[in-house]
Amino acid sequence: MRQTAINLVGSIVLSLLVLIGPSAHAGNYPDRPITLVAPFPPGGAADVVARIIARKLEEQLGKTVVVENRPGAGSMVGALSVANAKPDGYTLLLGSNSTFTLNPAIIEKMPYDSKTAFEPVGKIGNVSLALLINPAVPAQTVPELVRLIKANPDKYVYGSYGNGTTANFAGAMFNDMAGLNLVHVPYRGSTPAMMDLIGGQIPIAFDTIIATVPQLKNNKVRALAVTSTKRSQFLPDVPSLDELGYKGYDMTSWLCIVAPAGLPAEVSATLRQAVTKMMANKDTEDKLLGAGFEPELLLIDNWAAWVGDDVEKMRVIAKKSNISAE
């Protein structure tokens, strides 16, 4: 009888430990290193940002943050690994709009549902794009370029750094809003697209500010507009397309830190607080700007609606312009 009672008490205690275990663990978060998955190749601009963020998160959380590059399938390989990870705050993803909204807009069967597979920690900023032309194109402004294209509808095309990329969507949106029918020429990356623009093989291209600034300084290309709603800090003299009358035009490459869905509330609060403090730090801002990234913190409360709205917006653009996954 005594042994039975002891066994019963033991079972109750064990059950209570199981129930309170996750909460107690969450209360001690973090107590070991954290992995930040970067679904991009090492050495690129997004990878540089990931490493800056990792170091700054370490300062706030007091634990090592290890960057793990998992590129592939337009960032879906890395995103899927995080979607399937345990939602304990020790595996995070630094994803882009390609990860969360562009891919779902053009891929019918996604390996994850970006609206429900992740929980947002914070959007940390944007990389604007620029509408670029070869200097030989006889246009100094966007209105002049539009008139030129309409007068010569078969002469002009635009290049981007890949099918289904932000640059592709930027060109498609410009086509739609300006009433043009520019044919899209996709390249395998920014470098070959930029080289062909400089060489005159293509007259027009959309590319990131990061790739644009060095070529502008050498007068190898001309920037007529930026794709963000406001002017870029890196190109303060270049107007935005929205400013030029294309109201609502907004197509940037943004980055957001997310965790697997189901994150404990205490862990979510800790991470959000850490990201908020990190982004308020002047050194963080300076380092991100130095990498060509424009920091801007946004804490997203209704992730499913926020992502879902953008997916539908991108899907409309993709359908109008026949953008599809290759």
Mean pLDDT of the 239-249 span: 97
pLDDT of residue 16: 39
Give the model's pLDDT for residue 25: 52
Encoded tokens for 225: 């507009």
106: number of CA atoms within 13 Å, CB side?
Answer: 23
Q: What is the pLDDT of residue 43?
A: 87
Q: How confident is the model at residue 2 (pLDDT cuts 50, 70, 90)?
A: very low
pLDDT at 8 over 50: no
In this structure, the chain runs to a length of 326
Query: What are φ and ψ of residue 202, in 5° steps?
Result: -130, 145
Residue recorded with tokens 């194109």: 137
**According to CATH, what is the number of the domain 129-226?**
3.40.190.10
pLDDT in tens, 176-206: 999 999 999 999 999 999 999 999 999 999 9
Burial of 220 (0-12, 13-18, 19+ CB in 10 A): middle
Q: Of all residues in the chain, what percent carry a pLDDT higher than 90?
A: 89
Mean of pLDDT over the chain:
92
pLDDT at residue 159, as a whole number: 98
Mean pLDDT of 296-322: 96
Question: How sure is the predictor about 6, in pLDDT bands with cuts at 50, 70 and 90?
Answer: very low
Give, in degrees to the nearest 5, the angle at Cα 266 between 94 and 78: 20
Residue 62 zone, left/alpha/beta (φ > 0; ψ -120 to 50; rest):
left
The pLDDT of residue 218: 94
Give yes or no for a cis peptide into 30 (omega within 30° of 0). yes
Band of residue 5 on the pLDDT scale cut at 50, 70, 90: very low
What is the C-alpha to C-alpha distance for residues 173 and 250, in angstroms, rounded to an integer? Answer: 9
Taking 70 as the threshold, does the pLDDT of residue 20 lie above it? no
Average pLDDT rounded to a whole number, residues 29-58: 95
Confidence category of residue 26, pLDDT binned at 50, 70, 90 = low
For the stretch 207-222, pLDDT in tens is 999 999 999 999 999 9
Fold of 14-126+254-321: D-Maltodextrin-Binding Protein; domain 2 (3.40.190)
**Which tokens is 124 given?**
């940390």
- When pLDDT is averaged across residues 146-170 and rounded to a whole number, the result is 96
Work out the average pLDDT over 130-141. 97
pLDDT at 241: 98
What's the half-sphere exposure (Cβ side, CA atoms, 13 Å) at 126? 19
The whole-number average pLDDT for the span 230-234 is 95
> Structure tokens of 314?
């991108």
Q: Where in the chain is the domain with CATH 3.40.190.10?
A: 129-226
CATH 3.40.190.150 maps onto the chain at 14-126+254-321
Query: Which H or E run contains 292?
Result: none
Arithmetic mean of pLDDT, 84-89? 98
Q: Burial-class residue 23 by CB neighbours within 10 Å (0-12, 13-18, 19+).
A: exposed
Strand order of the sheet with strand 204-208?
A: 183-186, 157-160, 204-208, 129-133, 222-226
Query: Which residue would you say has higher pLDDT here, 5 or 236?
Result: 236
Sheet holding 118-127, edge to edge: 65-69, 34-38, 91-96, 253-260, 118-127, 294-298
pLDDT of 10 > 50? The answer is: no
Sign of the C-alpha dihedral computed for residues 230, 233, 239 and 241 taken in this order: negative
